[in-house]
Chains A and B, each alone.
Chain A
Amino acid sequence: MESLYLLIPLSVLAVFGIGWLLWQAVDGGQFDDLDTPGQAILMDDDRPPKANSSGDPPAV
């Protein structure tokens, strides 16, 4: 049972850590558009899709 003296404070720290991660995610715009990504996956595209990461060169 003594381990709880360590585990409970650790759980509090973990919550703050998760909170910080959520803040990063929200601030990074991950939750800005909750509708389009869900529909984008249904879109027809003739060309074979290529895996893309963020940080593409500007379009055009």
Chain B
Amino acid sequence: MTETCFHCGEVNPPGAGFRFTFDGATRNFCCAGCQAVAETIIDAGMADFYRKRERPGVRPESLVPAELAQYDDPAAQSTLAVSRDRETSQADLLIDGMTCAACAWLAERTLKRAPGVRDVSVQYATGRASVTWDAQSTPLSALLTALRRVGLDARPADRAQDPALARRAARRELLEWLVAGLGMMQVMMYAVPVYMAEPGEITAEFHQLMRWASLVLTVPVIVYSARRFFANAWRDLRAGQIGMDVPVALALALTFVASTAATVTGEGHVYFDSITMFVFLLLGARFLESRARRRAARAMERLAPTLPPLVERLTAWPGSDQSERIPGTRLAVGDVIRIPAGGTVPADAVVLAGTGAIDESLLTGESRPVTRAPGTDLLGGSLNTGSPLIARVTRAGEASTLAQLARLARRALSARPPADALARGLAGGFSIAVLALAALTLFIWWPGDTAFENAVAVLVVTCPCALALAQPAAWATASGRLSQWGLLTVTPRALDALNGITDVVLDKTGTLTESRLTLEAVCAMGAASASECMALATRMEAGSTHPIAQALLRHAGDMSGEYSQSPLQLTHVPGQGVEALVKGERVRLGSESFVADLAGANPVASGADRAATPTTAASRTTRIHLGNAQGWLASFDFSTPLRADAAATVATLQRAGIEVHLLSGDDPRTAEHVASLANIRNARGGVLPDDKRAYMAALQAQGKRVLMVGDGCNDAPVLAQADAAIAMADGRDGADLARAQADLLLVSGRLTRIADALQLARATRGVMRQNLAWALAYNLCSVPLAMAGLIHPWVAALGMSASSLLVVFNAARLLQFTPRHEAPANAFGGASGGASEGATDGAPDAARGTSLAVTPAAGDD
């Protein structure tokens, strides 16, 4: 029986374990994303959505497991690879079975050697590789075959296959671990009596019987559970490297062969208990590490758009509702599409008809839906939780905002922090040293009874894993936590750079204030009421992408009054405004002079009622007017309001002993006004980008470490000068972001996360230092003891595995990291962490909601 996803209606992959009980029945989901959305909707009391919606999402085409060669089909390649220029293409590959940083290295090496490959970047954290290659001469399948040959199972990133692949890998890891655990438990049952018994208490036959039983149980552990270590070690050796799996594999092989020989001949020691315990504990550590890695990657993957495979395209809109279904990947800019209720927006688009409640939590982490009226933008990957929408595609596929963001984030993950490369080099050298020491131990004790035992103990007790895992584990977990907060790490140095920051320099527009204009007040001056003027202005601006028009549209109320229905004839005058013919009457909306040409002199002297501007106005007010031949009808004031959490963030930073500065290109009076609203003592207005950079250089000359928070493009030189840089990414498109010189991108638009990130960076450095210190101290103590013959192999196995576990657990703490907020009234603490993170984050939207309420109130006077 095929199950369909309760949420999107797609066929569930076989064995998908995503279930949720709703209306007394267990609902199955195709993916964690659908499940999470459904839980959010139902938890928020919007369960009626599922009872009342018109139909589920689109059904996918059946996915036939394709042979490698099918990836070479030009049509398939066009959806899997991006053409860079005439010759080269770029594709993301999913690589299955990358168990360690060394495998990533191997994949990178293999791909680089393949003919036609220009550039490769492999990320251990997500099991992905990004390849740029000459598609004319080398088919994609050749690259995949090359990877298969070195034992890496790769396929082009196809989002539909992604969850199944990850699930299979997770299951395999779990089963390997469980088999080792079972083997260990039972082998111990045979081993413990031998340890406990007085000599001669167990007769030789029983002794021998238990040895054979242990051997039978150890074989699956070696052959199935431990095969990864042998495969990795063999791979390393063939690549001419000594990785951290080489000593492990050598120890396992030697002890197993020796124990088997002892069992067959009935003479000598057996170490089956040590072998099984070693494998079990080692796999346990790696299982936990890859679980932490998967979680971090999942937090990152949240940003990768999961677009619907089929899209309903309207072929003759607005003439008719005739539609066809096309694969989402074939959407082109300008296509008119229908987004069903509950459907995913397949590409960046602008709404043409309908008003939808859009869940943009993918991009902003904000789980509360936002309203999108005609003329406003939709982000690809967001979810339409309201009624169906008609929209025109503005950016499709890899050009879309979400795809760009995901790409940036992946690039950051694949570039390794310098500290990680150092640790891996260290681990490599360390492994060679361990082999040498083991040989030395064997030599010293030779031909004593315990020579072999002691040499094995040296191989087993040392723990390069703790050394090699220490940095990447902490780094990956911290990045995962940051992306849960809506902060993407773009450069590998990001976390390091955030350490020891003494000064934070904030830009004003778009950083301390919202990036978008907001309608502050509507002032009716003539015959029509404010709401009528509002309705008219909204209709005149519908479909325009000008920031002022967008601001008007966001505040569009219900259309009523005499102007709401009559047809309009619009004439746009660039730089001036728009003129409409309403029932034969000319109406103008735009600059003061433009309206004055039609309506006569402005009865209200310009700037006379500035006092009425609410104090939340944090910048120069922009004003447009509405008038007809009879006179002036209304004026509209726009401004960019202070972000709701600006003052709280500044206060948090200052409590942490960090000096906060404000630099603005706006005139000094406005800058000072904003600074006083946000409680910033050092404010400078009217500074050019070059002055900003000089200001920052002056701070740095005083020995300060400066974090710059700006809006990306125009602040690029300043961001580059700073010790660390965060760019605000809300309300910008991907192309801008790619050019930004920032270490981190703040996509959630929540400034408090900056203070949190500083705390997290400090915690991460702490964890990395603890891990390294532990790994070094442990190895320095244990190796001499093992060489002295004081450590039995099974104690060595326990100690080594416990050491790895400790490092991984220590790093995993970062995923639960909760910033301390000293202010009790602060509503932004992600205290509950993890899954409920989205639910606690409603505050900024609520704040925005109250600023919207200004409009009708102002309009009534």
Contacts and interface: CB of A to CB of B under 8 A. Distances in A.
Contacts of A48: 24
Interface string B30-44: 000001000100010
Interface string A22-37: 1100111111110110
B159 interface: no
A33 B18 contact: yes
Contacts of B206: 1, 4
B833 to A, nearest CB: 12
B178 A26 contact: yes
A55 B2 CA distance: 10
Interface string A20-60: 00110011111111011001100111011110101110111
The 8 closest A-B pairs by CB, nearest first: A32-B17, A59-B6, A29-B17, A50-B24, A59-B27, A29-B15, A52-B26, A58-B4
Contacts of A39: 835
Interface of A: 1, 4-5, 8-9, 11-12, 15, 18-19, 22-23, 26-33, 35-36, 39-40, 43-45, 47-50, 52, 54-56, 58-60
B20 interface: yes
A9 B213 contact: yes
Q: Which of A8, A35, A58: most chain B Cβ within 10 A?
A: A58
B186 A12 contact: yes
Contacts of A36: 18-20, 35
A49 B18 contact: no
Chain B interface bracket (under 10, 10 to 19, 20 to 34, 35 or more):
35 or more
B23 A47 contact: yes
B406 interface: no
B790 interface: no
Contacts of A19: 178-179, 182, 220
B217 A60 contact: no
A12 B21 contact: no
B24 A43 contact: no
Interface string B160-176: 00000001001100110
B72 interface: no
Point out which of B21, B220, B835 has the most chain A C-beta atoms below 10 A from its C-beta. B21
B153 interface: no
Nearest to B12: A58
B437 to A, nearest CB: 36
Given A12-B213, A60-B9, A18 B174 contact: no
A12 B174 contact: no
Given A4-B206, A8-B210, A59 B179 contact: no
Contacts of B1: 55, 58
B253 interface: no
A32 B23 CA distance: 24
B118 to A, nearest CB: 38
26 contacts: A1-B206, A4-B206, A5-B209, A8-B190, A8-B213, A11-B186, A11-B189, A15-B183, A19-B179, A19-B220, A29-B17, A29-B167, A32-B167, A35-B835, A36-B18, A39-B835, A40-B20, A44-B43, A49-B24, A50-B24, A54-B26, A55-B1, A56-B26, A58-B2, A58-B3, A60-B4
Nearest to A28: B15
B170 A32 contact: yes
B16 interface: yes
Contacts of A12: 186, 213, 216-217
B264 to A, nearest CB: 17
B483 interface: no
B171 A32 contact: yes
Contacts of A9: 213
A23 B224 CA distance: 13
Contacts of B170: 32
B825 to A, nearest CB: 27
A56 B167 CA distance: 23
A27 B25 contact: no
A25 to B, nearest CB: 9
Contacts of B220: 19
Interface string B591-613: 00000000000000000000000
Given A47-B23, A52-B25, A59-B25, A26 B174 contact: yes
Contacts of A43: 39, 43
Contacts of B26: 52, 54, 56
Contacts of A35: 834-835
Contact of B209 (A8, A44, A55): A8
Given A15-B186, A31-B174, A59 B17 contact: no
Nearest to B11: A58
A31 B171 contact: yes
B745 to A, nearest CB: 27
